[in-house]
Amino acid sequence: MPLDLSLYLVTDAGLCADHGLEETVLAAVRGGVTLVQLRDKHASDAEMIDQARRLKAALAGSGVPLIINDRLEVALAAGADGLHIGQDDGDVARARAALGPQAILGLSVQTHEQLARLDPSALDYLGLGPVFATPSKHDHAEPQGFDGLAALVAASPLPSVAIGGLKVEHAEAVRQAGADGLAVISAICGTPDPEAAARAFPRR
Ligand code: TZP
Ligand code: MG
């Protein structure tokens, strides 16, 4: 299955609570989301494994992969399709070795130094940002804007997805910056109609 980064939904337990996590994710997939990342900074590993297994079952047959944020052990235990890690979330080589060659492995990158250091052979894609400041991540790095994003994309050895404060109206600028897609939390989760919110993004 080729990796389609065009519209990447990252979940948030609080923002997805209105319609329920599974229902929000399924609605978003009906609306055109191409990749789902389960992200929960507060759940225990056991809770996250349970959520991941339920989401994985719900997504069966959709062709949309389920990626786990940060926690390698959760990704392994839940049989998820992949893992997304940040700069401080452990070793890329170790994650690749544990997950095997078929799994999707993504890394968040904020700077050119980080780009210069990474081993692209162990990774499938990069998350680049934040493009804008966002209340959805309390400890985010300095916002890049679209010029900073374009510079990171130009230096990236891998497919990339932009993240951070992105809404429908930014899709064209993200495309022009060269990224392969947008990753969003609040533009879909926490909206009154997650399916319509996803559908509003331009197809690629
Ligand atoms: N990483 C960088 S910004 C961000 C993450 C997880 C949050 C993105 O959320 P939103 O609501 O799309 O700005
Ligand atoms: Mg992380």
**E strand segments, the chain:** 7-10, 35-38, 66-69, 82-85, 104-109, 125-128, 160-163, 181-184
Strand partners, 126: 107, 160
From 39, 56, 71, 96, active-site residue: 39
Closest residue to atom 13 of ligand 1, CA basis: 165
Q: Which of 100, 167, 101, 157 is closest to 128 using CA atoms?
A: 157
Cβ–ligand 1 contact at 136 (below 6 Å): yes
Q: How many CA atoms lie within 13 A of 5 on its CB side?
A: 24
Rounded to a whole number, what is the distance in angstroms from the first to the last CA of the chain? 17
Structural domains in the chain plus CATH codes: 7-199 (3.20.20.70)
For this structure, is 137 an active site residue? yes
| Ligand 1 atom nearest residue 15's Cα | 11
Tens digit of pLDDT per residue, the chain (204 long)? 689 999 999 999 999 888 899 999 999 999 999 999 999 999 999 999 999 999 999 999 999 999 999 999 999 999 999 999 999 998 999 999 999 999 999 999 999 999 999 999 999 999 999 999 999 999 899 999 999 999 999 999 999 999 999 999 999 999 999 999 999 999 999 899 999 999 999 987
